[in-house]
Amino acid sequence: MRIVFAGGGTGGHLYPGLAIARAVQRLHPVARPFFIGARRGVERDVLPGTGYPHILLDLHPLYRSQVWNNWRTVVGMATAWRAIGRVFREERPAVVVGTGGYAAVAALFYAVAHGIPVVEQTGDSMPSLTARLFSRWAREVYLSFPESAQHLKVKTPDVLVDTGAPIEPPPADRPARAIARHAWGFPSSPDARVVLVYGGSQGSLAINEAVRDWIRGGLPPDVHVIWGTGKKTYEQFAAMQSDRVKVQPYLAPIAEAYAAADLAVARAGTMTLAELFAWQIPAILIPLPTAAADHQTLNARTLEEAGAAIHLPQSQLSGASLGTRIADLLGDPARLDALATAAARRARPNAAEEIARRIITIATGTA
């Protein structure tokens, strides 16, 4: 039984599919996930290492600011349509799972046109254009944010399922925070505090520069930093490494950092947020201002209003402003606890398994 996962371009559209696919295989070993992605997306580097069969196509997003380049989108869609047809004729999928992004469009269109069941997993409080377009044909739509429901057109309300974002959940036996800190070379004393900083898989130059300036201004006593810079800018900031600051290009496995952290400074992408919630980590969120439809800002505002995070716009970001917010939070244990409690209320660590069960039901015709 083949289940096709279509999506990508960014990690936020690929990693949910991978988490669901793994859960599907755990629950229904005869299922065979197959991935469709874009040659220019992050899936080009990630999928070959997963062992999942896949095809990467010459797909392109809509070029909103460079409309003259949209001929690439049209031509890519046409060539993708033929390639997808060959894949689907080889073995008709039991269901096609759209995880968003431009890499999902062609496969979802093909499935709808040929009567193949479609489900969607939406990532943000403002669903992507792809999610909004196909929600009217979806058998089910799995919501990472319940707030996104108001932006989707569906056949009936029960199509919308509030599952949370699918992630690899924290281990059942989480390491004690003191042990996790010791593994990083930090003291395990109750007074020690660890701030986790990362700007996603690609890193964030704006966040990195603010963190550098904050550290240069002098870290508060007993504060330690785990800093994932991203591979592209690692060399610029590697010299900041010290006994109290651990600088890495990429945090993998990131669970080791989550286990040690008291506070996170991060972007406001859905997968990042879902993981922080699952680990019950308070966060200062600095949305990527160029994200499509500014959805990260909406994510951050939504969560700040829910008392689950602090929103710091990038336009207000500096070493001083970041340092002030970190110091205020670390100096107010009750506020930290309140943020952690609110984050925990939003946590859905078993979302991937819940989604997988529902997909299997549709794929096997037992719905």
Say if residue 329 is in the same domain as residue 355. no
Handedness of CA 76, 78, 83, 84 (dihedral sign): positive
Say if residue 96 is in the same domain as residue 236. no
Question: Distance between CA atoms of 330 and 223, rounded to whole angstroms?
Answer: 9
The pTM assigned to this predicted structure is 0.80
Tokens representing 289?
A: 């201002």
Say if residue 249 is in the same domain as residue 305. yes
Say if residue 134 is in the same domain as residue 20. yes
Residue 159 belongs to some domain of the structure: yes
Tracing tokens 């006994």 back to the chain, one arrives at 243
Rg over CA atoms, the chain: 21
Average confidence (pLDDT) over 133-162: 91
State how beta strands 32-38 and 263-266 pair: unpaired
Say if residue 355 is in the same domain as residue 340. no
Residue 11 belongs to some domain of the structure: yes
Contact status, residue 278 vs residue 304, Cβ threshold 8 Å: no
Task: Find, among 248, 292, 300, the residue nearest to 272 by Cα.
Answer: 300
Residue 172 belongs to some domain of the structure: no
Say if residue 159 is in the same domain as residue 70. yes
Give φ, ψ of 280 to 5 degrees: 60, 50
pLDDT digits (tens, 9 = 90+) for 218-276: 999 899 999 999 888 999 999 999 999 999 998 878 889 999 999 999 999 888 888 99
Say if residue 157 is in the same domain as residue 210. no
Say if residue 121 is in the same domain as residue 212. no
The per-residue pLDDT for 329 is: 95
Name which residue leads in pLDDT, 34 or 146.
Answer: 34
The CATH number of the domain where 9 resides is what?
3.40.50.2000
Domain that holds residue 250: 177-346
Residue 216 belongs to some domain of the structure: yes
Tracing tokens 């490494």 back to the chain, one arrives at 241
Say if residue 118 is in the same domain as residue 189. no
Residue 21 belongs to some domain of the structure: yes
Report the C-alpha dihedral over residues 71, 73, 78, 83, rounded to 10 degrees. 140
Residue 224 belongs to some domain of the structure: yes
Say if residue 111 is in the same domain as residue 65. yes
Q: Domain count of the chain?
A: 2
Asked whether the predicted pLDDT for residue 181 surpasses 70, the reply is yes
Say if residue 341 is in the same domain as residue 355. no
Question: Distance between CA atoms of 286 and 315, rounded to whole angstroms?
Answer: 9
pLDDT digits (tens, 9 = 90+) for 27-70: 999 999 999 988 878 888 889 989 999 999 887 666 556 766 66
The single-letter code of the amino acid at 74 is V
Spell 62-80 as b/e; 16+ CB within 10 A means b. Answer: eeeeeeeeeeebeebbeeb
Say if residue 162 is in the same domain as residue 186. no
